[in-house]
Amino acid sequence: MPTTTQLEHLLREAALRVTRPRVAVLAAVYEHPHADTDAIIGVVRTQLGEVSHQAVYDVLRALTAADLVRRIQPSGSVARYESRVGDNHHHVVCRTCGAIADVDCAVSATPCLTASDDHGFAIDEAEVTYWGVCPACSTTTAAITAR
């Protein structure tokens, strides 16, 4: 987790003004990878007190546009945010509880960016989502089934 000074530096490097809401939202995303907006709002409110939903949405939009955070939205899920940007990683999502984890690319630096037919597109990003059941839900399901 970066310090407040490091978060302020990231904002300045991205040509964003340093404000308390921006620092708080960026810290929340670092502290809670794959959190949705409501969870981020809850974390920010514990730090700053009352802050509007719109303010957090606006900060998340600015941080995403500046490539300081990444917005992901697995099928059937609300948008989620993570601080891991600038690399080619994917996600695994639990079909039962919705837990999300990062998955590094299996082979080489960017194998998913080499499409079998790019149809003339200049491809710069690929999204792969793995779906399954997390260990906690697998254990719960197994325990229920064994009864």
Query: What is the C-alpha separation between 91 and 32, in angstroms, rounded?
Result: 15
User: According to the model, what pLDDT value does residue 143 have?
Assistant: 54
Question: What is the residue whose two structure tokens read 């620092």?
Answer: 23
Q: Is-contact 74 100, C-beta < 8 A?
A: yes
User: According to the model, what pLDDT value does residue 102 have?
Assistant: 93
Per-residue tokens: 132: 């399954």
**Residue 5 three-state SS:** helix
Rounded (10°) CA dihedral 71, 62, 33, 141: -40
Which residue type, as a one-letter code, is found at position 45?
R
Selection from 7-16, 86-95, 100-109, 118-127 with the highest mean pLDDT:
7-16
Class of domain 87-146: alpha beta
Whether the model pTM is above 0.75: yes
Q: Spell out the domain ranges in the chain.
A: 4-72, 87-146
Interstrand relation of 80-82 and 70-72 (parallel, antiparallel or unpaired)? antiparallel
Query: What is the C-alpha separation between 64 and 61, in angstroms, rounded?
Result: 5
Inform me whether the pLDDT recorded for 118 exceeds 90.
Answer: no
DSSP H helices, 66-134, are: none
The CATH code belonging to domain 4-72 is 1.10.10.10
Per-residue tokens: 67: 């490539």
Query: What is the C-alpha separation between 14 and 37, in angstroms, rounded?
Result: 22
Question: What is the residue whose two structure tokens read 């978060």?
Answer: 7
For residue range 83-112, what is the model confidence (pLDDT) as tens digits? 999 887 889 999 999 999 999 876 655 566
